[in-house]
A = this chain, B = another copy of it.
Amino acid sequence: MATPRRKSAPVAAEIPEEKQPVDLGLLDNLLGYRLRRAQLAVFQDFLVAMKGFELRPAQFSVLAIIAANPGLKQSRVSEALGINRANFVALLDELEQRKLARRAPAPGDRRSNALYLTPKGEGFLKDAYRHLLAQHEKRVEAVLGSADKQLLLGLLDKLTTLA
């Protein structure tokens, strides 16, 4: 008869059924699932890098678009980012309250707002981006490699044409 079990030094064969890895099944071949997990991981890493900046991905994207296209109309900015016109209002409100962006009258159309970064906003975006490169993108390239990152960007763009 075998020696009675003690709680020390677990023997391999005794490991209970609980820790066998879960089989992904049909999910394993589904691009959408893998894409979502990867996106969540990257956003999570983005948030960690932006700790202290209080800047979520959507807010960063708004600042970046305005910086690259100063004076662009509000509706064009929201459209470029795929953000609903109505939802964009509160998003921009907060950036304006934080004095990072401002609404100005659009020349030639009194309905529209032309959007600009404030000087503070320009500096803030530059700092945030530098931080992002130094931490977030650095970690990304650590697991991917620079060449694979460019490759991945190309593949993702193809997928975006699905919509």
Contacts and interface: CB of A to CB of B under 8 A. Distances in A.
Nearest to A36: B39
Nearest to A159: B38
Interface residues of A, number: 61
Interface string A1-41: 00000000000000000100011111101111111111111
Q: How many copies does the complex hold?
A: 2
Contacts of A84: none
Contacts of A155: 144, 148, 151-152, 155
A119 B76 CA distance: 50
A148 B55 CA distance: 34
18 contacts: A22-B77, A23-B65, A24-B64, A27-B68, A29-B137, A30-B60, A31-B153, A32-B136, A34-B157, A35-B35, A36-B43, A38-B157, A41-B162, A44-B162, A140-B162, A143-B159, A144-B159, A152-B155
